[in-house]
């Protein structure tokens, strides 16, 4: 928020009624900025009273995050809200994976966000069906153990600019629960929707112990 004006930046997910998970690169340029989280939004053209802006009281970037120069490894941050969210039908927390859980290549998942659709910023929350792509065949960049690739072979569905920090959720094959497995991190420099060059996500399961340490095991 600058001079009282809110500039929307990235996506995120509620971990519980007080903590939000997002990408560190969304916050690195202004760690001491006045951030606001908007919950309950679905279509920015429609204000039906279900939306709420809540100030961020504290933020923590992962201590080992090194930015683009380190290939966005450890691109994860936790926000603490200034007051608790009231859960309702369109405002609910995500489920965390177990430590080191990783969906197999080919697993079908869903990515959601407010990013570009072609050259136009989305005004309605979008979701796309993608699948996990193995690190050995991900053509975007060398992928670390703390990252995961997801997209489509032909690039027809992909995360794009403005989707950063948003969730990649996959259905657990045993519990059938939808679990947040990734956070939109980065894509190829050529842009989004490039065949055989899918988006790269921060692998959430790699950071479960860190997340729980910051949230006092409340998630």
Using one digit for the tens of pLDDT, what is the confidence trace for 101-112?
Answer: 888 999 999 999
Query: Kindly report the CA angle at 205 between 203 and 209, in degrees rounded to 5?
Result: 125
Confirm if 79 and 22 have CB atoms less than 8 A apart: yes
Q: Are residues 197 and 173 in the same domain?
A: yes
- Please report how many Cα atoms fall inside a 13 Å half-sphere around the Cα of residue 87, on the Cβ side: 10
The whole-number pLDDT of residue 44 equals 83
- Catalytic member of 13, 25, 62, 146: 25
Q: Per-residue confidence at 3, pLDDT binned at 50, 70, 90?
A: very low
Q: Up-side HSE of residue 67: CA atoms within 13 Å toward CB? A: 4
Catalytic residue among 13, 146, 164, 205: 164
Residue 21 lies in a domain: yes
152/173: higher pLDDT: 152
Selecting among 13, 74, 75, 146, the annotated active-site residue is 75
Dist. CA 96–CA 204, nearest whole Å: 8
d(CA 217, CA 208): 10
Across the range 157-176, mean pLDDT stands at 92
Residue 186 lies in a domain: yes
* Cα distance between residue 99 and residue 115, in whole Å: 29
Report the residue count for the chain: 219
Q: Say if residue 2's pLDDT is above 70.
A: no
Question: Is 75 one of the annotated active-site residues of the chain?
Answer: yes
- The pLDDT of residue 5: 56
Mean per-residue pLDDT over the chain, rounded = 90
The pLDDT assigned to 105 comes to 94
d(CA 169, CA 192): 19
Domain match, 73 and 112 both: no
Give a yes or no: residue 102 inside a domain: no
Specify whether 37 is located in the same domain as 119. no
Nearest to 198 by CA among 184, 212, 178, 216: 184
17 is catalytic: no
Return the sign of the alpha-carbon dihedral for residues 14, 15, 18, 24. negative
Alpha-carbon gap, residue 93 to 121, rounded angstroms: 25
In a domain, 120, yes or no: yes
- Between 96 and 102, the more confident residue is 96
pLDDT digits (tens, 9 = 90+) for 34-63: 899 999 998 888 887 788 999 999 999 999
Query: Is there a single domain that holds both residue 117 and residue 199?
Result: yes
Residue 185 maps to a domain: yes
Residue 117 lies in a domain: yes
Given this model, what pLDDT does residue 142 score? 82
Q: Percent of the chain beyond pLDDT 70?
A: 96
195 lies in the same domain as 133: yes
Instruction: Decide which of 189 and 95 is more confident.
Output: 95
Q: In the annotation, is 189 catalytic?
A: no
Whether residue 1 is contained in a domain is answered as: no
Mark whether 78 and 114 lie in a shared domain: no
Residues 37 and 116 in one domain: no
φ, ψ for residue 210, nearest 5 deg: -65, -45
Here the CATH number for the domain that contains residue 166 is: 2.40.10.10
Overall number of domains in the chain: 2
pLDDT at residue 79 is higher than 90: yes
Instruction: Verify that 113 and 79 share a domain, yes or no.
Output: no
Residue numbers of the domain that contains 18: 13-92+208-214
Question: Maximum distance among all alpha carbons in the chain?
Answer: 49
CA distances from 51 to 1, 15, 37, 95, 182 (A): 17, 18, 10, 22, 25
């Amino acid at each position: 928020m600058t001079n009282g004006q809110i500039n929307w930046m990235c996506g995120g997910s509620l971990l519980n009624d007080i903590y939000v998970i997002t990408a560190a690169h969304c916050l690195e340029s202004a760690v001491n900025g006045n951030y606001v989280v908007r919950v309950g939004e679905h279509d920015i053209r429609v204000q039906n009273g279900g939306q709420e802006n809540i100030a961020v009281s504290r933020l923590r970037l992962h201590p080992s995050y090194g930015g683009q120069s380190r290939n966005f490894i450890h691109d994860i941050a936790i926000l603490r809200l200034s007051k608790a969210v009231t859960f309702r039908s369109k405002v609910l927390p995500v489920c965390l994976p177990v430590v080191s859980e990783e969906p197999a290549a080919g697993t079908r998942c869903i990515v959601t966000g407010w990013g570009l659709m072609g050259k136009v910023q989305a005004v309605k929350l979008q979701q796309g069906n993608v699948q996990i792509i193995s690190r050995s065949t991900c053509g975007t960049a060398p992928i670390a153990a703390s990252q995961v690739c997801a997209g489509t072979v032909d690039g027809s569905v992909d995360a794009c600019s403005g989707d950063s920090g948003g969730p990649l959720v996959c259905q657990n094959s045993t519990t059938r629960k939808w679990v947040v497995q990734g956070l939109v991190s980065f894509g190829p420099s050529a842009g989004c929707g490039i065949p055989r060059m899918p988006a790269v996500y921060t692998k959430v399961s790699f950071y479960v112990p860190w997340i729980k340490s910051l949230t006092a095991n409340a998630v």
